[in-house]
């Protein structure tokens, strides 16, 4: 079996409404985090068409901020390069994953 090289590129948070997406970006910026609102990639097919892009290492912190601001994330998606091909992988909330680690 061939070893699969997986390189995490970025994490996406998708939202039900554009208003929630803009609130999420503003909350992240105000917290001093490097986040950016982008069009949701076609292959993801989630939410309102806008997603918040961030470094995967920031996902749990962003999720905590959005929970405090009562901004609902409908989907979390990891973009990773696997064997040289970008893939989008659905993920659970980083807050749930963080809670399971503790």
| Model pLDDT for residues 8-46, shown as the tens digit of each residue | 789 999 999 999 999 999 999 999 999 999 999 888 877
**Residue 78: phi, psi to the nearest 5?**
-100, 130
pLDDT for 81 equals 86
Q: Pick the residue with more confidence: 29 or 95?
A: 29
Q: With respect to CATH, is domain 6-101 assigned 3.40.50?
A: no
pLDDT above 90 covers a percentage of the chain that reads 62
Query: What integer is the mean pLDDT of 61-79?
Result: 95
Tally of CA atoms within 13 A in the half-sphere of 20 that contains its CB: 19
Mean of the per-residue pLDDT values for the chain? 88
- Position 50 scores a pLDDT of 96
Among the listed residues 43, 38, 30, 34, the one whose alpha carbon sits nearest the alpha carbon of residue 12: 38
First to last CA, the chain: 33
């Amino acid at each position: 079996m061939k070893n699969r090289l997986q390189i995490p590129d970025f994490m996406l948070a998708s939202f039900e409404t554009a208003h929630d997406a803009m609130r999420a970006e503003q909350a992240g910026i105000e917290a001093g985090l490097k986040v950016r609102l982008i069009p949701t990639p076609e292959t993801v097919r989630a939410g309102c068409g806008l997603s918040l892009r961030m470094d995967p290492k920031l996902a749990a912190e962003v999720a905590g901020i959005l929970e405090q601001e009562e901004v609902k994330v409908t989907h979390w998606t990891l973009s990773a390069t696997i064997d040289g091909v970008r893939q989008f992988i659905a993920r659970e909330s980083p807050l749930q994953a963080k809670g399971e680690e503790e």
